[in-house]
Amino acid sequence: MKILIPIKKVLDPAVHVRVKSDESGVDITNEKMSINPFDEIAIEAALQLKESDATSELIAVTCGADDAVSVLYSAMAMGVDRSIHISTDMELQPLAIAKLLARVCITENPSLVICGKQAIDDDASQVPQMLAGLTGWSQAMFVTEIENKSENELLVTTEIDGGLENLKITLPAVISTDLRLNTPRYITLMNIMKAKKKQLDVISSDSLSVDVEPRLQTLKVVPAPDEREGEIVNNVDELIIKLKERTRMI
Partner 1 sequence: MNSENESISFDVLIVGAGPAGLSAAIRLKQQAKKLQMNLSVCVLEKASEVGGHIISGAIIESRVLSELFPDWENLGAPLYTKVAQEFFLFLTQASYFKLPIPTQFSNNGNYIISLGKLCRWLALQAESLGVEIFPGFPAAKLLYSSDGSVKGVVTADMGLDKKNNQTDHYQQGIEIYAKQVIFAEGCRGSLSKQIINKYKLDNQSEDQVYGLGLKELWEVQESNFEEGEIFHTVGWPLPADVYGGSFLYQLENNIISIGLVVGLDYKNTWLSPYDLFQQFKSHPYIQKIIKGGKRISYGARTLSEGGFQSLPKLTFPGGMLIGDSAGFLNVPKLKGTHMAMQSGVVAADALIQHFKGNVNLANKEVIGYGKQIKENWMWDELYRARNIKPAFSLGLKTGLLYSAFDSYVLRGMGVWTLKHKHVYLQRKGKTKKSISPEYDGIITFERLSSVYLSNIHHIEDQPCHLQLKDATKAISINYKQYASPEERYCPAGVYKIVKQPNAEVRLQIDAQNCLHCKACDIKDPSQNINWVVPEGGSGPNYAMM
Residues 160-199, one symbol each (x = binds partner 1 by CB under 8 A, - = not), give: -----------------------x-xxxxxx-xx------
Least CB distance to partner 1 at residue 72 (A): 16
Q: According to the binding rule CB under 8 A, does residue 246 interact with partner 1?
A: no
Q: By CB under 8 A, name the one of 14, 219, 232, 236 that touches partner 1.
A: 14
* Residue 139, beta-bridge partner list: 174
Q: According to the binding rule CB under 8 A, does residue 31 interact with partner 1?
A: yes
* Half-sphere exposure for 85 (CA within 13 Å, toward CB): 20
Least CB distance to partner 1 at residue 184 (A): 8
Q: By CB under 8 A, name the one of 16, 197, 220, 248 that touches partner 1.
A: 16
Q: Is the dihedral of CA 61, 62, 67, 73 positive or negative?
A: negative
How is 173-193 classified by DSSP, letter by letter?
A: EEEEE-GGG--PPPPPHHHHH
Q: By CB under 8 A, name the one of 30, 209, 234, 247 that touches partner 1.
A: 30
d(CA 114, CA 118): 12
Q: According to the binding rule CB under 8 A, does residue 244 interact with partner 1?
A: no
CA 186 to chain centre: 18
Q: By CB under 8 A, name the one of 21, 55, 150, 234 that touches partner 1.
A: 21
Nearest to 169 by CA among 206, 141, 209, 207: 141
d(CA 188, CA 2): 24
The residue among 13 and 214 lying less far from partner 1, judged by its C-beta, is 13
Residues that bind partner 1 (CB under 8 A): 12-16, 18, 21, 29-32, 183, 185-190, 192-193, 229
